[in-house]
Amino acid sequence: MTESLNGRRVAFLVAPEGIEQVELTEPWKAVKNAGGTPELVSVRSGTVQAFHHLDKADSFDVDKVVTDVRPDDYDGLVLPGGVANPDALRQVREAVEFVRGFFRSGKPVAAICHAPWMLVEADVVRGRRLTSYPSVATDLRNAGATWVDEQVVVDAGLVTSRNPNDLPAFCAKMVEEIGEGVHRGQARSA
């Protein structure tokens, strides 16, 4: 990947536990390799617990608490998956508002696997085309999205993918969209 994110800060929003580790670490590496600065944002300080499916994996230090940051502080947002991660996050009003703020400002957002649940909760998928883990498809359709079964889908600054197998395509498009900056079409669903 090229140095297309020099000087750009990217928030990775996660719950205190339940993050699918590879869906955090691979996009994180992609941001760093492209010259960007990733920051781990969660709902509380300390560490977060990642998983390999249902088995505990590594823990990661939180850089910022969601109540202490704003979308204006960042150039893009990444939402890693894991079943428990977005399910816990969507119950935290400040986390939902943080996500919605990226859409209002037209900033790129990348969500993989079960993470589009956060997009449903933030009410930002109506009229959008995206993908996710298959079990989230009905929720997305019910929220007004057009769900497709594709490796990676880009819709005016919104990047989505289905699962860890899609990470190479997801990471490439995520870096590209964040590198492009604000997408006016992103705000249409906010």
Active-site residue list = 114
The dihedral of CA 115, 120, 123, 126: what is its sign? positive
Residue 63 exposed, middle or buried by CB count within 10 Å (0-12, 13-18, 19+):
middle
Q: Determine the Cα–Cα distance for residues 172 and 165; give it in Å rounded to an integer.
A: 13
Q: Compute how many other C-beta atoms are within 10 angstroms of the C-beta atom of residue 149.
A: 10
Measured N-to-C along each axis, helices 21-33 and 167-180 cross at an angle, to the nearest 10 degrees, of 50
Q: Are 168 and 176 in contact (CB under 8 A)?
A: no
Amino acid type, 63? D
- For the record, the structure tokens of 127 come out as 């009229």
Amino acid type, 181? G
**Rounded to the nearest 5 degrees, what angle is found at the Cα of 98, between the Cα atoms of 26 and 190?**
105
Amino acid type, 111? A
